[in-house]
Structure 1
Amino acid sequence: MTDAAQTARPDRLAAHTPEVSAAKARRWGSFYFAEHMLRSMRAYLLTIVVTSVGNPLLYLFSMGVGLASIVDRSSGGAAAAFGGVGYLAFAAPALLISSAVMTSANEMMFPVMDGFKWRRIYYGPHVTPLVPGQLAAGHIMAVGARLFVQSLVFFLIMLAFGAAPGPWSWALVPLGILTGMAFGAPLMAYSAHIEKENFQFSMIQRFIVMPLFLFSGTFYPLETMPAGMQWIGWISPIWHGNQLGRAVSYGLAEPGWLIALHVLYLVALGAAGIWWARRNYAKRMGA
């Protein structure tokens, strides 16, 4: 085939000019970097699958067959104590929310430090027209995609266990993403700020993530805790997410103003964290 014939073919692919490529990067750079992050997650895909499927199966099986059966048979009426439902239906939405928060915390600590210090994966894209804010946004989008899949799988397993009786229980999926980001985005901003990892992440896991998981009304109503410890739940994104999750899952009675407060608190934390993260990325990368 002659060169003229090849040029005349309508299906012939041509490389973009540098100007066109730069314009596309400036417009869609966040999506390009999110795709890169999602592809890099294939390195630990087995871990993602095991945690996304195994954790809800183990949690709900242990609750449904083990602890829930004991609690529901206890004297005093467990249904009355847990808003008119059994213990499994009470705990399951909170377990979904807590699982999303823990995943978000993991993705917003070591991978962020990896991007700046260890493998420096942020600096390759940064020599292109991508700006630091796009790198931060792409990282957040990739984590959000993982949270969506994980929360959806958890929700489907809840349905199989009969632990999501309400017609609005599907809203647990976006609530998992919202709560995960409300905790993960500020943590991402902090991770982008520190120069060295001197066991800060281990301390965060032990003294922030786990206490919030245990003392945010995940396994029992917050009101049953001593009054001097209830403030932990009030400031915890997990508690606000738990209450919203129970409201949509089985209709937990919450005043309208408190529902609005839960939503506003999570949105404000997430938005502030994203703003802070983009600012720290720009500062860290000299932009």
Structure 2
Amino acid sequence: MARGRTRLPNPLTPLESAERARRFGWWYFAEQVLRQMRVYLVSVIMYSIGTPLAYLLAMGVGLATLVNASAQHQFSGVSYQVFIAPALVASTALMSAAGEFMYPVMDGFKWRRVYYGPYASPLRPEQIAQGHVVAVFLRILLPTVIYYLIVVLFGVAPSPWGWFSVLSASIAAMSFGLPLMAWTATLTKDAGQFALVQRFVVAPLFLFSGTFFPLTQLPWFLQWIGWISPLWHATELGRVFSFGYQEPLWLSLMHAAYLLVLAWLGWVLAQRMFARRLQG
């Protein structure tokens, strides 16, 4: 070997490459999705900073001065800023999931068909779905952490356990996004379904999930929206962690179980729909 020349690692054989893909294919695809996301990483970070600042200044500072003066005892003994902060963290995660589990999934199957190239390799359809989910989870986790840091800087997360609200918000995003991903995998064309989901599913969940006021203040015929909404369950858990919101232990456990079961069902269905679509 010539002096100064570095020895290159022994290349893998085709069988070794295939075996490695079978074992770690989900991460290979997740890495590819994350590399694509780097294109709009700056936008994600700026959105993660701008959105909480806008909401906290408008709702937590502007509106809160009026609410705190007129309804001091309606928000579990804390200020309005402290009350809505966990809901804003959870809603940001859920809205990010709504976008990432619709248009990119349709892009993979229909527009650019980016799922079919990896499927021609030893990767299984389930691994492609798993990799997409892992990448989106990390993409959602980043702005959620940034959002919570800004909440802490505003001084509206008094409990040291408030960090767990980041976890509950991220799980809520998965519990909403994974069933949405499974449904998107069944679509053969975009006929305006995504706009309808944003307008008639995401927006009502944001407004009627106890985000800006306790769910019990809604008329009884609208409270069911909160009961089935992952956002409400994550918001209630976030309030327990952030400022010691008083609720029975069994109810907190029910919130967690609901989110986990819904996320698990979506995880199973998404893999099944990917396999059916790619193998069909």
TM-score bin (small chain) = over 0.9
Question: Contact 1:169 / 1:248 at 8 angstroms: preserved in 2?
Answer: yes
Structure 2 unmatched ranges of 5 or more: none
Match of 1:157 among 150, 155, 172: 150
Offset of residue 12 of structure 1: 3.0
Inter-partner Cα distance in structure 2 for 1:143 and 1:12: 34
Which amino acid in 1 is paired with 2:266?
G
Q: Which of 233, 255, 263 pairs up with 2:256?
A: 263
* Percent of aligned pairs sharing the same letter: 49
Amino acid at match of 1:230: Q
1:122 to 88, 112, 115: 115
Q: Which residue of 2 aligns with 1:64?
A: 60
Q: Residue 32 of structure 1 contacts residue 138 of structure 1 at CA under 8 Å; is this kept in 2?
A: yes
Indicate the larger mover: 58-67 or 85-94. Answer: 58-67
Distance in 2 (CA, whole Å) between partners of 1:65 and 1:236 is 27
Q: Which AA in structure 2 matches 1:63?
A: M
Give the Cα–Cα distance (whole angstroms) in 1 for the partners of residues 93 and 198 of structure 2: 14
What's the counterpart of residue 230 of structure 2? Answer: 237
2:51 pairs with 1:55: yes
1:200 aligns with 2:193: yes
- Indicate if the aligned counterparts of 1:133 and 1:279 stay in contact, CA closer than 8 A: yes
| Distance in 2, Cα, partners of 1:27 & 1:285 | 20
Deviation at 1:209, TM superposition (A): 0.4
Amino acid of the residue matched to residue 64 of structure 2?
A: A
TM-score normalised to the size of structure 2? 0.97
Ranges in structure 1 where 5+ consecutive residues have no aligned partner: none
Residues 1:25 and 2:25 aligned together:
no
Q: Indicate the residue corresponding to 1:187 in structure 2.
A: 180
Cα deviation, 1:18-57, whole Å, max 9, x if unaligned, reads: 1111111111111111111111112222321221111011
Residue 161 (structure 1) shift: 0.3
* Residue 175 (1) aligns with residue 168 (2): yes
Q: Give the TM-score taking structure 1 as reference length.
A: 0.94
Provide the C-alpha distance between the structure 1 equivalents of 2:214 and 2:2, rounded to a whole number of angstroms: 77
Where does structure 1 differ by over 4 angstroms across 4 or more consecutive aligned residues?
Answer: none
**Aligned residue among 7, 10, 14 for 1:14:** 10
Whether 1:246 aligns to 2:246 is: no
C-alpha RMSD over aligned residues: 1.5
In the other structure, the counterpart of 2:126 is 133
- The answer as to whether partners of 1:38 and 1:142 remain within 8 angstroms in 2 is yes
Please give the per-residue CA displacement for 1:207-259, whole angstroms capped at 9, x wherever unaligned. Answer: 00000100000000000001111111001111111100100000111111111
CA distance in 2, matches of 1:200, 1:47: 25
| Matched residue SS, 2:221 | helix
Aligned 8 A contact 2:61 2:81 in 1: no
Mapped contact 2:60–2:84 kept (Cα < 8 A): no
How far apart, in 2, do the equivalents of 1:57 and 1:158 lie?
A: 9
Q: 2:271 aligns with which of 275, 278, 283?
A: 278
The answer on 1:36 being equivalent to 2:29 is no
Per-residue CA deviation, residues 150-198 of structure 1 (Å, 9 max, x unaligned), is 1110110001001110120010111121000000000000000111110
Q: Secondary structure at the match of 1:16?
A: coil
> SS of the counterpart of 1:162?
coil
What does residue 222 of structure 1 align with?
215
Give, in whole Å, the separation in 1 of the partners of 2:140 and 2:172: 10
